[in-house]
Structure 1
Amino acid sequence: MSPRASWKGTLKIGELTCAVGLYTAASTSDRIAFHMINRATGHRLRREFVDSDTRKAVERDDQVKGYEVSDGEHILLSDDEIASAVPDSDKVLGVTAFIPCDGIEDVYVDKPYYLTPADTPSVEAFGLIRDGLRKQEVAAIAQTVLFRRMRTVLIRAHDAGMIATTLNFDYEVRSATDAFDGIRKVRIDPEMLDLAQHIIKTKMGKFDPASFEDRYEAAVAELVKAKDAGKTLPKRPKEKAKIISLMDALRESAKPQRKTKTQSKTTRKAG
């Protein structure tokens, strides 16, 4: 079954328009998920909103959003009131500027979507925009209302379609200065730096997402399978950290490494 578009609208650059659809590009739905269970009965637990004073559960119809203006004082807002205050969603993804493809800092990147033409008449205009972006090696910056929020979107050519990535607003990104302020300055030994550069050069490669294994998911799946069969997994011994000098660690890292199973599999696939 083909996926459903999360959003449909119009991509607009000047007077050039085409109907487009957004499809979720990354999802966590396939991750292992746990339910909370009552140990005594084996029944699933459910969450409830409870009044902080009366400690009684509040039914959905009696729940309303509130914005705290002072300690314990809230302005109550209905969903309709909030929806009416949101900028009008005219379903237009309006391009405001073009920037180099690497012109966005990673901290501003939020969530990726696949962008495709929404109907047959839009295929030609869509292809023109995609190939124009690819030819100029630029990305488009656009804005629209997505899921009741004004969002800024970065649009780049990708294979036969495009990728539209929502961006964080400036006020949502925390200051790097605050995070890095406590890092003290140190003088790096030139020999150490040479060794570090050598290690980097010898381990250069291409990003291959298929070569990375989610070890947490694999370990939990193994645990669930063992418990279902009435077995217990042996405890894995904890690795003791070796205390060695930074120079020794660099020299050890610079030695040729044996290929891991993952690397071997990747090599075989590539061949």
Structure 2
Amino acid sequence: MAPRAQWKGVLRIGAFTCPVALFTAVSTSERIAFHTLNRATGHRVKREFVDSVTGKPVPAEDQVKGYETADGRTVTLEPEEVAAAVPESDKTLDVTGFLPCDQIDEIYLDRSYYLAPADAGAETAFVALREGLRKAKAAALAHAVLFRRFRVILVRPQDEGLVATLLNFDYEVRSARAAFADVPQVKTKGEMLDLARHIIDTKRGTFDPAGFEDRYEAALAELVKAKQAGKPLKPARKAAGGKVIDLMDALRRSAGTAGGTPSAKAPKKAPARSAKAKGAKEAPAKAPAAKSRRKAG
């Protein structure tokens, strides 16, 4: 059964148009979902909006939106006033420009959707756009009204179709400076860097999402299955407490378990002294000639 399109419209680049359909790329519908029940009766409970002061229920027709200002006052908005602020959709994905794929800051990427031709008549134009983007290694920057909001969208080729990714607005993305402000400027030593590279190289692989395990979802499934069968529940395993360890020792151990330590020359063993040498009086060693010190660069 073909998936149902979330949105249908026209992708437009100047005079070039192509009917397209938007399909869900990421869904959480397969996750385990719970209902909230009354423990005593087993009946499902429902939510009800009540006045925070009087405690009395407030019917839907008496509910309005409110925005609290910095000085503590509340601005009240009627439902029709909020609805009037929703931009009108013209069902157009309007491309405003193109940019190299390697210039895209991934922190701005939000939710992605698959973009496909809306009908057989759009296939030729769709393929031309897809292959043009692929050969140019470029992405199209577009905007449209989707799901009652104005959205900025990044369109990129993928497999036989296109992927449309909603972008976060600049005001929504927090500056990294605040998060990294307390990270010290530490100079990494050569041995530590070599060990880190060795661990990375021995653990290097390919991106395979099929190998990712949702442990929480798996634990919930086991819990539901056990309760349904009337089996006793397994006690939860406690996570081992973290220990403060030396970073170099940890890297060396990781390198050893990751498939061998980096190659290093073994220290030469000093030759055993003969019995004659042990009894003989050693001549005083000559002081080595002084060497000029090399200044650190």
Q: Same fold (TM over 0.5)?
A: yes
Asked if residue 199 in structure 1 is aligned to residue 203 in structure 2, the reply is: no
**Aligned: 1:74 with 2:86:** no
Partner of 2:250: 249
Q: Map residues 123-142 of structure 1 onto 2, 5 A cutoff.
A: 123-142=123-142
CA distance in 1, matches of 2:129, 2:215: 40
- Partner amino acid for 2:97? A
Distance 2:243 2:65 in 1: 53
Distance 2:92 2:29 in 1: 29
Amino acid at match of 2:75: H
Task: Answer with 1 or 2: which has the greater Rg.
Answer: 2
5 Å-filtered alignment, 1:114-129, equals 114-129=114-129
CA distance in 1, matches of 2:224, 2:86: 45
In 2, are the aligned partners of 1:12 and 1:92 still within 8 Å (CA)? yes
Q: Give a deviation string over 1:55-83, Cα, whole Å, max 9, x none.
A: 112222322223334524223132x4333
What displacement does 1:184 show? 2.2
CA contact (8 A) 2:202 2:258 kept: no
Does residue 100 (structure 1) correspond to residue 103 (structure 2)? The answer is no
Does residue 13 in structure 1 map to residue 13 in structure 2?
yes
Structure 1 residue identity aligned to 2:210: A
The aligned residue for residue 48 of structure 2 is 48
Where do residues 1-271 of structure 1 align in structure 2 (5 Å cutoff)?
1-69=1-69, 71-78=72-79, 80-235=80-235, 236-257=237-258
Contact 1:83 1:148 in 2 (8 A): no
Counterpart of 2:173, as a letter, is: V
Q: Determine the structure 2 residue equivalent to 1:266.
A: none
Offset at residue 204 of structure 1 (A): 1.6
**How many angstroms apart in 1 are the aligned matches of 2:192 and 2:258?**
19
Greater CA drift, 236-245 or 190-199: 236-245
Shift of 1:95: 0.8
Match of 1:265 in 2: none
Shift, 1:240, TM fit: 3.8
Kindly tell me: are residues 257 and 234 of structure 1, through their superposed partners in 2, closer, same or farther at Cα, counting changes over 3 Å? Answer: farther
SS at match of 1:94: strand
Q: What secondary structure is seen at the aligned counterpart in 2 of 1:213?
A: coil
Local SS of the residue matching 2:102:
coil
CA contact (8 A) 1:19 1:117 kept: yes
1 CA distance for matches of 2:178 and 2:15? Answer: 44
The Cα shift of 1:52 comes to 1.8
Q: CA deviation at 1:96?
A: 0.9
Q: What is the percentage of aligned positions where both structures have the same residue?
A: 60
Structure 1 stretch 219-228 or stretch 145-154: which is displaced more? 219-228
What's the CA shift for 1:257? 4.2
How many angstroms does 1:4 deviate by? 1.3
CA shift for structure 1 position 119:
1.3
Deviation at 1:238, TM superposition (A): 3.4
Instruction: Flag structure 1 segments of 5+ consecutive residues without an equivalent.
Output: 259-271
Structure 2 distance, partners of 1:19, 1:64, is 39
C-alpha separation between the residues in 2 aligned to 1:241 and 1:42? Answer: 41
Once the two structures are superposed, residues 104-131 of structure 1 have per-residue CA deviations (whole angstroms, 9 ceiling, x without a partner) of 2122111000001111111111111111
| Aligned amino acid, residue 68 of structure 2 | E
Aligned CA RMSD, in angstroms, stands at 1.8
Structure 2: distance between partners of 1:68 and 1:17: 44
Q: Deviations over 1:231-253 (max 9, x none)?
A: 22332243243443111111121
Give, in angstroms, the shift of residue 159 of structure 1: 0.9
Partner amino acid, structure 1, of 2:232: T
Query: What is the deviation of 1:34?
Result: 2.0
